[in-house]
Chain A
Amino acid sequence: GQNIDQPTEMTATEGAIVQINCTYQTSGFNGLFWYQQHAGEAPTFLSYNVLDGLEEKGRFSSFLSRSKGYSYLLLKELQMKDSASYLCAVMDSNYQLIWGAGTKLIIKP
């Protein structure tokens, strides 16, 4: 079956750096997405990786290793507003998004 694993919850300090890991096993691979979701709101797009390596976008970076079925989202200079759930999703061979359960990130002052 298809499976996306990410930690349920993480805690970090304002101003610090946090890395959220995601491992996947899917039927085919057409890219990996990271979304941010604040409570009660729809997800918002953060990043898309389809090739191995690191994609940097401001304070957020996303890394992909297709051979390892592994990705991480790196958040730098954490701000209180970064407290949210972070969803990892993989697009399979049918172009369907397979979603992880999300990682709740708690930022403490």
Chain B
Amino acid sequence: GAVVSQHPSWVICKSGTSVKIECRSLDFQATTMFWYRQFPKQSLMLMATSNEGSKATYEQGVEKDKFLINHASLTLSTLTVTSAHPEDSSFYICSASTPDRNTEAFFGQGTRLTVV
């Protein structure tokens, strides 16, 4: 099956700094990538949908200036958490879809962000 690689797997950063998370589709061209956030014992919460070459579409309540998403190529999307605070500590997961929409979402491994 298709492979999506997410990096880093975990990161600890100081409050006020920025953290970049990368999501790469390794063997297919991902026209659309999704960024999720997951708190403990809760389901995935969609943060934004990014389409290659265009601005990301953010879900209601997600600050676009805080969570910067870039989808510059068909194989790479990045999420930058700017001026991170402890409440941003969470599990961030990306997924990618192929042009054939009615297929499973391919997930990255997830990134555990801890802001201290």
**A residues touching B (Cβ–Cβ < 8 Å)?**
30-31, 33, 40-45, 48, 50, 87, 91, 95-97, 99-102, 104
* Chain B interface size range: 20 to 34
Nearest to A100 among chain B residues (CB) is B43
Is B11 interfacial (CB-CB < 8 Å)? Answer: no
Give the 5 A-B residue pairs with the shortest CB-CB distance, closest first. Answer: A42-B107, A45-B104, A42-B110, A101-B43, A95-B101
Q: A-contacting residues of B (Cβ < 8 Å)?
A: 1, 6, 34, 41-44, 46, 49, 91, 93, 97, 101-110, 112
Chain B proximity of A77: nearest CB distance (Å): 24
Q: Which B residues are CB-close (under 8 A) to A100?
A: 43
Do residues B42 and A44 form an inter-chain contact, with CB atoms below 8 A? Answer: no
| B44 in contact with A44 (CB, 8 Å) | no
Provided the pairs A41-B110, A42-B110 are in contact, do residues A87 and B102 lie with their beta carbons within 8 angstroms?
A: no
Residues of A within 8 A of B93 (CB): 42-43
Q: Judging by beta carbons under 8 Å apart, are B104 and A48 in contact? A: yes
- Bound CA span A87–B102, Å: 18
Q: How far is the CB of B41 from chain A (nearest CB, A)?
A: 8
